[in-house]
Structure 1
Amino acid sequence: MELDTQKITLVGILGAVTVILGMTPLGFVPVPTPAGSATIMHVPVIIGAILEGPVVGGLVGFVFGVFSFLRAGNPFVADPLIGILPRIFIGILAGYSYKLINKESVAVGLAAAFGTLTNTIGVLGLAVWRGYLPLAAAIGIGFTHGLPEIVVAIIITILLVKVLNNIR
């Protein structure tokens, strides 16, 4: 796959949006869970994957991962394997899941769900594997924090992709 000017520009714009979401309260949507908010920093990764494919999604995910790694708020995200790798796979898996489904609204929702699950399972699974978290804690975080993030990501992604497709 060739990265043309449009794709490189989209990676830059969505990467910048990810950084802005992470540096401001805009990246955290209040939800009634123990965490108090659902992050949406991964949504630009999913949108990049839907609009231009898994490579663009993976590159935006790389920007998200490097930003998360550099601004790590906990020890396991400061581990580059955990902070960066799952974020790259958000875009790759969201992009391929989108391509597999023919019905647009279903495909966008599934891509958002798969991308969010990739982030949650990837980060928490690697945190358990590397010994940062016990399995029971990771499962608890996954359910109480991950499920609301899936719902929020699906809603936001469907709305944004619909608007972006209308603009195109």
Structure 2
Amino acid sequence: MFIAIIILQTSIPLIGYIPIGPLSITIIPATVVIATVLLGTVDGAIIGGVWGVITFIRAYIWPTSPLATIVFVNPIVSVFPRIMIGLVAGWAYMALQKRIKRQSLSVSIAAILGSLTNTILVLGLIYVFYKAKAPQLYQINMEKLLPYLIGVVGTNGIPEAIFSGVVTPLIAVPLSRVIKRRT
């Protein structure tokens, strides 16, 4: 079911990415964290990996931006950060569950960390792998690449993390209660 949701979110406009002016707020990390909370860390990493593979394939056949054809053809940039969403969120959720009584707070913090993991890894790996090519690819002065990427963290990453931190517990907590009642 979560793989189908990820496929829909990556295929249908406005379901997985919310365009706000020139920016595109990614809400798919919330889906990965919901899967992680409900199914476990390994399954969350697999769901994240599916998103990464779709991102990798789309970079070749239906890119979401000109940048995608350059950076997301590298599976370390397109797949690895998505897998890490499930792992980081899962580990955080398990650790927080033992310390925090309110499940919604544990889920919220795990969602924020998962979303930030995606943002920081994608942008950090873009910097690591493409900084030498940045002047040609992005028409950016090399000295401005890092501030540009940090700006993207502020304009995209922070709103995405806030979205995940608010919406994920609203969905995951009631679903986890329903699942517990049925088992």
- TM-score band by shorter chain is 0.7 to 0.9
Q: Which residue of 2 aligns with 1:80?
A: 75
C-alpha distance in 1, partners of 2:56/2:19?
23
C-alpha distance in 1, partners of 2:45/2:96?
19
Deviation for aligned residue 1:167: 2.2
Q: Which residue of 1 aligns with 2:168?
A: 157
Letter in 1 for 2:2: L
Cα offsets for 1:12-40 (capped at 9, x unmatched): x1111111011112112355x651x4111
Deviation for aligned residue 1:165: 2.1
Q: Which residue of 2 aligns with 1:42?
A: 29
Q: Which moved more, 1:45-54 or 1:140-149?
A: 45-54
Extract unaligned runs of 5+ from structure 1. Answer: 1-12
Q: Which consecutive segments of 4 or more residues in structure 1 shift more than 4 A?
A: none
TM (norm. structure 2) is 0.78
Alignment of 1:111-150 (within 5 A): 111-131=110-130, 134-150=145-161
Does residue 15 (structure 1) correspond to residue 3 (structure 2)? The answer is: yes
Does residue 108 (structure 1) correspond to residue 80 (structure 2)? The answer is: no
C-alpha distance in 2, partners of 1:29/1:20?
14
Cα offsets for 1:26-85 (capped at 9, x unmatched): 112355x651x4111222211111112210111101101001111123111121110001
Q: CA RMSD in A?
A: 1.6
C-alpha distance in 2, partners of 1:45/1:165?
15
Deviation for aligned residue 1:163: 2.6
TM (norm. structure 1) is 0.85
Letter in 2 for 1:123: V
Q: Which residue of 2 aligns with 1:97?
A: 92
Q: Would you say the 8 A contact 1:83–1:123 is kept in 2?
A: yes
Q: Would you say the 8 A contact 1:116–1:150 is kept in 2?
A: yes
- Percent identity reads 35
C-alpha distance in 2, partners of 1:83/1:29?
19
Count residues with an aligned counterpart. 154
